[in-house]
Amino acid sequence: MPFPFGKSHKSPADIVKNLKDGMTVLEKHDISDKKRLTSDNQHVAL
């Protein structure tokens, strides 16, 4: 029975690099979302 996703054509180093790049983007969005949420909460409290 063949593996359902097929064979990866990327090297393990490429996979790790792509994963790190993706995590960096998510962390940047998370920081900006926290800042926005804090700002919104301050406006609602007033």
Q: Is residue 23 part of a domain?
A: yes
pLDDT digits (tens, 9 = 90+) for 5-25: 677 788 889 999 999 999 998
Q: Is residue 21 part of a domain?
A: yes
Does pLDDT of 46 surpass 60?
A: no
Q: Is residue 5 part of a domain?
A: no
Average of per-residue pLDDT across 35-46: 68
Check residue 1 and give its pLDDT.
47
Check residue 34 and give its pLDDT.
74
CB 15 within 8 A of CB 8: yes
Both tokens of 10, joined, read 């990327």
pLDDT digits (tens, 9 = 90+) for 26-39: 888 877 777 777 77
Q: Is residue 3 part of a domain?
A: no
Domain tally for the chain? 1
Domain boundaries, position 38: 10-46
Does pLDDT of 40 surpass 80?
A: no
* Cα–Cα distance, 34 to 46 (Å, whole number): 19
